[in-house]
Amino acid sequence: MRLHRNLVFATIDSLHLIFNEEKQADKVLKNTLKRDKRWGSRDRSFIAETTYDIVRWKRLYAEIAEVKEPFSRPNLFRLFTVWATLNGIKIPDWPQFEDTPTRRIKGKFDEFSKIRKLRESIPDWLDELGVKELGKKWDGEISALNQLADVVLRVNPLKATVKQVQNELLDNDIRTEAIKNVPHALKLKERANVFTTDAFKNGWFEVQDASSQKVAQFLKPEPGMRIIDACAGAGGKTLHIAALMENKGQVVAMDLYENKLTELKRRARRNGAHNIETRVIDSSKAIKKLIGKADKVLLDAPCSGLGVLKRNPDSKWKLQPEFLERIKNTQQEILTSYSRMVKPGGQLVYATCSILPSENKEQVNLFLTSEAGKDFTFVKDENIMPSTSGFDGFYMALLEKTK
Ligand SMILES: C[S@@+](CC[C@H](N)C(=O)[O-])C[C@H]1O[C@@H](n2cnc3c(N)ncnc32)[C@H](O)[C@@H]1O
């Protein structure tokens, strides 16, 4: 592979914004990729994938390059040099790459590969937490979470069948394959931009990881039910629920943030989902009005996001232990307050995209032994681990309210 100056510079500029100005990687890349209309899909992939790779391996590469944050521009080039060397890419003779110590880079890589927190490129505190919560399993999970995520689609049965989506994408040279036990999922065989296809624009599918698709399946929505998705965000799971209900009955999609619900409504129109009502949670009244009113409630709670680290590698560096403590309190508050919306005999699903027991099973157990949880019984739960599933890490628990 030959390195092109403007693509390397665009990567370095993106890294500067992500590392030194704490900007979100996906937003930075969205802007960077707008910079030059002449860039083709390969150029864009180079910038995006290289930037994400260097974000993912920041600690390891910084230790190898012997550079510290905040990274000066020459130091960002040193990180880039480590990336290129370890990926077997020939370093060009530009002034920025003078005296690249190729052998030393490879030697240090071998040396650091023996130390998990360096090999997996994670902060000390996260490594300690992983061991505390998952013991021996942590090794395999953090390694799986450092792999590049697959692109998975969820076919929208309100608009198309799986076969129709597969054929339509094939006409665009995009090959897909089915995923066992996830009936509406299609995995891309090679990465491609699916957002420019007519099939996407017409609402035939959404991009949604296979593990995330299992949450609505686990909830088992039925046509005619009233379902509350209380942490709906931009509606990834709301749209799935609406589709499984065949547009019959009602989905109430709630969130603290109006802008997320606005995006949800836009997506619902594209999906042809007509049974969704959005409600902003602007006071406790929003919840009180719905006490005892739902056949099923989904609590897709805010969490550490550790299960989706492959997709958001920059959260390794943004996540803080204090945030984790705060979010656990929020999870328990959400369980305590929002569970009241389940009607007698109804069901509650608590889900997170975390792999930590303290955000998952332990939260459910705490709730079940609390005053608020006394009317609920535990039915079943499922831990989806990245190492065994190959997809994102997720947790889901099904509880039932006594009649
Ligand atoms: C894991 S995300 C939801 C993702 C969404 N369900 C999906 O499938 O696309 C958690 C959501 O909870 C919302 N949230 C955070 N605190 C909340 C609270 N106290 N009540 C309701 N929603 C909350 C966040 O704004 C965020 O959209």
Mean pLDDT, rounded, for 207-218 = 98
Residue 303 annotated to the active site: no
**Residue 202's domain is classified under what CATH number?**
3.30.70.1170
Domain with 112, as residue range(s), is 5-121
**The two structure tokens encoding residue 227:** 């379902």
| d(C-alpha 383, C-alpha 395), whole Å | 5
In this structure, what are the phi and psi dihedrals at residue 301, rounded to the nearest 5 degrees?
Answer: -70, 150
Please enumerate in sequence order all residues whose Cβ is within 8 A of that of 233, keeping only pairs 6 or more positions apart, or say none: 255, 257, 260, 264, 300
Same domain, 196 and 216: no
Average pLDDT, the chain: 97
Residue 102 has pLDDT above 90, yes or no: no
For ligand 1, mutation pick of 255, 312, 354, 396 (most atoms within 8 Å of CB): 255
Question: Which segments within 189-286 are labelled E, that is strand?
Answer: 205-207, 226-229, 250-255, 276-280
Rg of the chain (C-alpha set)? 23
Nearest to 295 by CA among 328, 248, 259, 257: 248
CA 221 to chain centre: 23
Mean pLDDT, rounded, for 258-270 = 98
Mean pLDDT, rounded, for 154-166 = 98
**Residue 56's domain is classified under what CATH number?**
1.10.940
Residue nearest to atom 7 of ligand 1 (CA): 236
Using CA atoms, how far residue 275 sits from 12, 43, 224, 281, 392, in Å, is 46, 41, 10, 19, 28
Mean pLDDT, rounded, for 223-234 = 98
Same domain, 254 and 363: yes
| d(C-alpha 336, C-alpha 371), whole Å | 9
Q: Of 353, 355, 364, 384, which is the active-site residue?
A: 353
Mean pLDDT, rounded, for 137-159 = 98
Task: Give the 3-state secondary structure of residue 345.
Answer: strand
Cα of 299 vs centre of ligand 1, distance in Å, is: 8
- Domain for residue 225, yes or no? yes
Task: Give the 3-state secondary structure of residue 251.
Answer: strand
The 10s digit of each residue's pLDDT in 55-65 is 999 999 999 99
Residue 59 contacts residue 121 (beta carbons within 8 Å): yes
| d(C-alpha 226, C-alpha 176), whole Å | 34
| d(C-alpha 168, C-alpha 156), whole Å | 14
- The minimum-distance atom of ligand 1 relative to the CA of 240 is 8
| d(C-alpha 270, C-alpha 98), whole Å | 52
Cα of 318 vs centre of ligand 1, distance in Å, is: 18
Same domain, 244 and 348: yes
Residue nearest to atom 27 of ligand 1 (CA): 233
Q: According to the model, what pLDDT value does residue 271 have?
A: 98
255 annotated as a binding-site residue: yes
Q: According to the model, what pLDDT value does residue 402 have?
A: 97
Residue nearest to atom 11 of ligand 1 (CA): 231
Same domain, 197 and 223: no
Please identify, among 74, 102, 121, the residue that sits at the C-terminal boundary of a domain.
121
Please identify, among 163, 180, 207, the residue that sits at the C-terminal boundary of a domain.
207
**The two structure tokens encoding residue 217:** 């399946």
For 382: left if phi > 0, alpha if psi spans -120 to 50, otherwise beta; the answer is beta
Question: Which segments within 91-239 are labelled E, that is strand?
Answer: 152-155, 176-179, 182-188, 205-207, 226-229
The 10s digit of each residue's pLDDT in 348-360 is 999 999 999 999 9
Same domain, 159 and 28: no
Same domain, 336 and 349: yes
Residue 205 contacts residue 186 (beta carbons within 8 Å): yes
Same domain, 104 and 19: yes
- Domain for residue 137, yes or no? no
How sure is the predictor about 376, in pLDDT bands with cuts at 50, 70 and 90?
very high
| d(C-alpha 150, C-alpha 148), whole Å | 7
Residue 99 has pLDDT above 90, yes or no: no
How sure is the predictor about 318, in pLDDT bands with cuts at 50, 70 and 90?
very high
CA torsion, points 195, 31, 238, 340, in degrees to nearest 10? 170
Using CA atoms, how far residue 337 sits from 276, 283, 303, in Å, is 22, 12, 17
Residue 362 contacts residue 313 (beta carbons within 8 Å): no
Q: Which residues does a 6 A CB cutoff place in the pocket of ligand 1?
A: 230-237, 255-257, 260, 281, 300, 302, 330, 334
- The minimum-distance atom of ligand 1 relative to the CA of 235 is 9
- Domain for residue 309, yes or no? yes
For 4: left if phi > 0, alpha if psi spans -120 to 50, otherwise beta; the answer is beta
- Domain for residue 282, yes or no? yes
DSSP structure class, residue 190: S
Q: According to the model, what pLDDT value does residue 319 have?
A: 96
**Residue 269's domain is classified under what CATH number?**
3.40.50.150
Residue nearest to atom 1 of ligand 1 (CA): 302
Percent of the chain with pLDDT over 90: 98
Q: According to the model, what pLDDT value does residue 307 have?
A: 98
Q: How many residues does the chain have?
A: 403
Same domain, 330 and 190: no
Q: According to the model, what pLDDT value does residue 120 have?
A: 98
Mean pLDDT, rounded, for 102-130 = 97
Helices and strands (H, E) in the chain, number of each type: 19, 11
**The two structure tokens encoding residue 186:** 């299609």
For ligand 1, mutation pick of 231, 284, 339, 359 (most atoms within 8 Å of CB): 231
Same domain, 203 and 249: no
Please identify which residue in the block is written with the tokens 């969820």. 154
- The minimum-distance atom of ligand 1 relative to the CA of 352 is 1
Residue 100 has pLDDT above 90, yes or no: no
314 annotated as a binding-site residue: no
- The minimum-distance atom of ligand 1 relative to the CA of 257 is 25
Residue 385 contacts residue 141 (beta carbons within 8 Å): yes
Same domain, 235 and 340: yes
**The two structure tokens encoding residue 96:** 């920025």
How sure is the predictor about 98, in pLDDT bands with cuts at 50, 70 and 90?
confident
Better pLDDT: 319 or 100: 319
| d(C-alpha 185, C-alpha 205), whole Å | 9
In this structure, what are the phi and psi dihedrals at residue 150, rounded to the nearest 5 degrees?
Answer: -70, 160
Please identify, among 207, 235, 252, the residue that sits at the C-terminal boundary of a domain.
207
Same domain, 265 and 244: yes
How sure is the predictor about 124, in pLDDT bands with cuts at 50, 70 and 90?
very high
Same domain, 302 and 395: yes
Please identify which residue in the block is written with the tokens 């510290």. 68
Residue nearest to atom 2 of ligand 1 (CA): 302
Q: According to the model, what pLDDT value does residue 352 have?
A: 99
CA quadruple 54, 55, 60, 63: dihedral sign: positive
Q: According to the model, what pLDDT value does residue 1 have?
A: 85
93 annotated as a binding-site residue: no
Tell me how many domains the chain contains: 3
ipTM above 0.95, yes or no: yes
